[in-house]
Amino acid sequence: MRNKYFSSILILTLVFLTLTLSNCKKTDENNKPTTLPPSNSDSTLNKNVVIIDSTRLVLTSDTTQLNQGHLEFNIIGTAPKINVNDVLVGATSGGYIKRVSSVSQQGSKLIIESSQGTMEDVFNNARFGFSTTMDSLKNGRIASGYQFDVSGKSLYNDGVTIITLDKGVIDIDGNWNFGFNFKNAKLDSFELSNKNATFNGQFVLNVTSQASTVAEHTSTLGRIAKYNTFLVGGVPTVVYTEVELRCVFSASISATIKRNLQITTTNTANFGIKYSNGQWQNTFSNASNSGLSVGDRSGNANAEVKMAIVPYVSFRLYRILGPYASVGLKELVKGNVASPSLDWDFYAGAWVQTILGVRATIFGKSLFDYSKEWNTDTVKFQTPYKLEKTSGDNQTGTANQYLSQPLKVHVVDNNGVGESNVPVYFAVSAGGGSVETASILSDKDGYAQTRWKISSQNVIQTVDVKVKQADGTLVDGAPVQFAASANPATLATVTTNSVTSVTSSTATSGGNVSSDGGAAVTARGVCWSTSQNPTIANNKTSDGLGSGSFTSNITGLTANTTYYARAYATNSVGTAYGNQVSFTTNAAVNLLSIAGTYSGTCTASIDGSQTAVNVNLYILNNDPSLLQISMTFPAGNILYGAYKGTITADGTSITFTEAISSGVSCGMPYADLLGQSWTISGNKMTGNGNRVAYCYPNSSYNSPATFNLSK
């Protein structure tokens, strides 16, 4: 990802660093100042300025006393004449400018009370300026102090949350200019600028949390400082430059997560601030190539991590802050997850915020405090970022059928890379119909799809597809809308099943409605006739609605007759018919040939004993569908219990459905036949009895039995 301004402002602070660190080592406030050549020999001072000669007056006040304006000197030789309202300028202890309010001498000690002075108190006319280049940094010759390498730095570790800067390398180069002019005891102009500054940076940040945590922390990753003393009109101008690399972060995490960010940047820039004629002006230009990528990322939780790596540069003149700059390489990592929908989002951003300014106190009343802030564009990673339509739009299909192509979308991050495990929602928004799956997670490549069954409505039908962040905000591009229309409805398509289970008066068939023709099927079944190509105007069954298979039971047929049958299906267009089938019913059963007296054996299941039995089967009440059975045993006893039965149309089976007489009396034989079906084949009849018993005083048989009879 390219970012026009990313990190270029960081050069500002780092070039400050090059100014102060050129060919120097780390120092502290007790280092001896370096005296540089005068910048302007034409400078004039105000008449009441006294330059302290440290060989004659040795300052003994500590830093606290100096800040409070209490100056004590040991006098060596003759003390110089110092009056109230004189302005003292000294180069020791970091330099100072003090306006005298009282003077006293105690032996060899000179005691002065004072207030803070300004450079306007010192200079009437003066030009102050210097510049530096960093040619020594070119061609890969990185001098000590010009490369910050804080790789492997642990920024925070409380045992639950660990934040590390696995890689942090900054290389810099540039040309720096700094100066100001006094005219008639007032600051006339001020300028702070850098030209052709270059900056290369590489950063890898890791955040790991094992549980819910809230943390804030500030740490100093490094500090470098140096004194420089410039002689301006014979006056020692002391500049103390300090560069401090700070890290500030805060974290609020609700569950276990892991985040890894990699940031790279290369920049060339020109920038600065300038004061002239009572006005401030700013200049800034930059050429940048920067990028951010996300490495390991696991765990969806409510989380926010803010990070700033800030080189802070300050220039102190006579120990009072003057020009300053802070450059913040800032990062924001946040994630949210909603319950119960589990919609989630993740964001990582990095940008540079630079503040370049000046505190006016040391210069005088003619200059006021000023600062200028630049924020680069944010280079970011965000997911799910966008929903894109992939395929399946603007189809035409058959009503009440699924379209030939699924509706397919792609969920991507802001780099256009597919994002997995994102809830995607499909919903019909116009025209009716239905989607096969209303909510689905995107696959490993970020794709999600479902099928759409359109309705028969003669309108443009639509489905909306959405992806949401945890707070319900739709991602970019959502909702994506798909459109489709239904072809004009036609007759349904139906086929006829073959005919089975044919008797003298019944048969079984059915059919299958494979397509409703784009309109709902409101009636279906089988129609039949003794003439070919029967229609629903003839005899018919009614077997439900809609598409699919169905079974039809055909009744009321005439024995030994040929019939023709077709399945049918009716929709708003009309009635469609399936293929024609034919069948012939069986001949009618001659009940008189079945009725009569049968004789044979009754075999008990308990002991296998057999008893001769006679069975009389006859038509009941002149109804050929109802038969009655009675039995006699060899002793001439009538079976106690007679049963009514029904015979199948083909005369092959009789089922006993009702007991005409019941009850058991000891000494009388009986047979329980209720619910049994006996088989009739020619002049033979076989079947079972639930219980058959003889009751005598000395023995008892109570057992299921098998009957084998012949006519």
Q: What is the pLDDT of residue 8?
A: 31
Rounded distance between C-alpha atoms, residue 491 and residue 489, angstroms: 7
Contact 565, 499 (CB under 8 A): yes
Q: Which of 563, 584, 605 represents a domain boundary (last residue)?
A: 584
How many other CB atoms are found less than 10 A from the CB of residue 485? Answer: 16
User: Do the beta carbons of residue 403 and residue 440 sit within 8 Å?
Assistant: no
User: What's the CATH code of the domain at 666?
Assistant: 2.40.128
Positive or negative torsion for Cα 374, 377, 380, 386:
positive
Cα–chain center distance at 520:
40
Contact 298, 333 (CB under 8 A): no
Number of domains making up the chain: 4
Q: Which of 305, 271, 266 is nearest to 196 (CA)?
A: 271
Please tell me whether residues 576 and 497 are part of one structural domain.
Answer: yes
Residue that finishes a domain, picked among 455, 481, 507:
481
Q: What distance in Å separates the CA atoms of residue 483 and residue 487, rounded to the nearest whole number?
A: 14
How many other β-carbons are positioned within 10 Å of the β-carbon of residue 506?
A: 15
Contacts of residue 339, Cβ cutoff 8 Å, sequence gap at least 6: none
- Give me the sign of the Cα torsion angle 564, 569, 573, 577: negative
Q: Are residues 607 and 702 in the same domain?
A: yes
Half-sphere exposure of residue 136: CA atoms within 13 angstroms, side-chain side = 13
Nearest CA among 166, 172, 136 for reference residue 150: 166
Residues 535 and 630 in one domain: no
Residues 639 and 694 reside in one and the same domain: yes
Query: Are residue 621 and residue 657 in the same domain, yes or no?
Result: yes
Amino acid at 171: D
The whole-angstrom separation of Cα 528 and Cα 94 is: 117
What CATH number is attached to the domain comprising 428?
2.60.40.10
Dist CA 401 CA 69 (whole Å) = 93
Using CA atoms, how far residue 565 sits from 459, 531, 534, 571, in Å, is 38, 9, 6, 20
- What pLDDT score does 9 carry? 29
**Distance in angstroms (rounded) separating the CA atoms of residues 543 and 569:** 10
Q: At which residue do the structure tokens 């006016």 appear?
A: 360
Residue 540: CB partners within 8 Å, gap ≥ 6?
A: 525, 526, 527, 528, 568
- pLDDT value of residue 500: 95
- My answer on whether 656 and 575 are in the same domain is no
Query: Could you tell me if 497 and 511 are in contact, meaning their C-beta atoms sit under 8 angstroms apart?
Result: yes
What's 8's DSSP letter? Answer: T
| Same domain assignment for residues 439 and 498 | no
Both tokens assigned to 142: 């990185």
- Strands 386-391 and 407-412, by their bridges, are antiparallel
> How far is Cα 456 from Cα 488, in angstroms, rounded to an integer?
8
> 578 with 568: CB under 8 angstroms?
yes
Give yes or no: residues 538 and 568 share one domain: yes
What count of Cα atoms within 13 Å lies in the side-chain half-sphere of residue 241?
Answer: 21
50 lies in some domain: yes
Can you give the residue range of the structural domain that contains 414? 386-481
Last residue of a domain, one of 113, 128, 143: 128
Is 554 a member of any domain?
yes
What pLDDT score does 128 carry?
Answer: 79
Residue 310: count other Cβ atoms within 10 Å of its Cβ. 22
Residue 640 lies in a domain: yes
Closest by CA position to 564, among listed 584, 549, 588: 584
Grouped pLDDT means (10 residues each) for the chain, 711 residues: 32 31 33 40 83 92 93 91 94 91 94 93 84 44 54 81 81 72 86 76 80 76 74 78 75 76 77 85 77 72 72 77 68 70 72 73 80 73 91 91 95 90 94 93 94 89 94 93 90 96 91 89 96 97 96 93 97 94 84 77 77 71 55 52 70 79 51 84 87 49 80 85
Establish if 120 belongs to a structural domain. Answer: yes
Residue 109 lies in a domain: yes
Taking only the tens place, the pLDDT of each residue in 95-148 is: 899 999 999 999 999 999 999 999 899 988 888 776 655 443 333 333 433 567
Count the neighbouring beta carbons within 10 Å of the beta carbon of residue 339. 7
Question: Is there a single domain that holds both residue 579 and residue 603?
Answer: no
Question: Hey, what are 202's tokens?
Answer: 């590489």
Q: Classify residue 197: in a domain, yes or no.
A: no
48 and 95 assigned to the same domain:
yes
Strand 548-554, strand 279-298: pairing: unpaired
Cross-strand pairs, 269? 197, 286
Q: What is the DSSP letter of 378?
A: P
pTM exceeds 0.95 for this model? no
Residues 658, 562 within the same domain: no
Q: Is residue 199 part of a domain?
A: no
Distance between start and end Cα atoms, the chain? 101
- 21 with 120, same domain? yes
Angle at the Cα of 670 (from 669 to 671), degrees rounded to 5?
140
566 in any annotated domain: yes
Cα 351 to chain centroid, rounded:
24
pLDDT at residue 623, as a whole number: 55
What confidence score (pLDDT) does residue 625 get? 46
pLDDT at position 649 is 66
Alpha carbon distance 519, 521 (integer Å): 6
Q: Name the helix (H) or strand (E) containing 560.
A: none
pLDDT for res 485 = 92
What phi and psi values does residue 65 have, to the nearest 5 degrees? -65, -40
Of 650, 614, 645, which is closest to residue 628 (Cα–Cα)?
645
Where are the strands (E) in 318-422, listed by range? 320-337, 344-358, 370-375, 379-383, 386-391, 395-397, 407-412
Report which residue type is found at 705. Answer: A
